[in-house]
Every structure is written in C-alpha cells, then in structure tokens.
Amino acid sequence: MSEPVDSIIVKYQAPDGYKLVHDTDYQDFLTWKNRISIEEWTLKEFSWNVWHQRGVTRAKNFLYSHRNDLDIANGGFIDYEHTHNGWRIPSEQIQNYISKIRAREM
C-alpha cells in the first residue's frame, strides 16, 4: 500500500510583465514559434500560417494597416514597392512583429 500524500497549496503572484500559462498553451506557443520552415512567405502562405485562412483579404488588410512599421523604406522588412512581383514576407520577422502586437494587446 502506498502512503497518503499531503497536498500543499501555494499562492504565487507572477512578477509584473509575466503571466502563468498552462503547459499545453506554452507548448502550443513553442510549436507556433518553431514552425519557421520557410524563410519567406507569399501572401497566401502568410494568410494561412497566421490566420488559417485560404483567402488573403485579412492578410492584405493587416499588411497595409501596419505599413508604417513594416515598410523597408521606413526601416521595416517588407518591400512594398515591389509587391507587384508577389509578396515576399520574411516569416521569422513577421511572426516576431505579430507576437509583439499581441503582447501589447494583453
């Protein structure tokens, strides 16, 4: 027979700027962060990888609404002047940018 185990409840408050999350949520985040298998995404790939949508309207709206931050002419990493040849979106940089936006919204 095994002996009974005592439980101890500990109250812990995370420091400012930190959040406690469930392990599965953390693993999901790591999976999302590590799935950078393509250096550059097309507009369609960006739409699918970020919002799981086949259409590109939401992705285009996002890119144009954040043009001031993302445009290479303003120190960003997307060359808006040459998008007529197809979008070339650096996957790691756009994921980091989106992560920063989402962190500010929390």
List phi, psi (to 5°) of 3: -85, 150
Is residue 58 situated within a structural domain? yes
Question: Residues 57-95: pLDDT tens digits?
Answer: 999 999 999 999 999 999 999 999 999 889 999 998 999
Question: Residues 42-52: pLDDT tens digits?
Answer: 999 999 999 99
Is residue 41 situated within a structural domain? yes
Q: Give yes or no for a contact between 58 and 44, defined as CB atoms under 8 angstroms apart.
A: no
What is the per-residue pLDDT for 37?
Answer: 54
Based on the structure, what is the number of domains in the chain?
1
Range of the domain at 61: 37-105
Coil, helix or strand at residue 76 = coil
Is residue 19 situated within a structural domain? no
Separation CA 9–CA 34 (nearest Å): 34
Task: Return the structure tokens found at 97.
Answer: 């940018």
Is residue 24 situated within a structural domain? no
Is residue 92 situated within a structural domain? yes
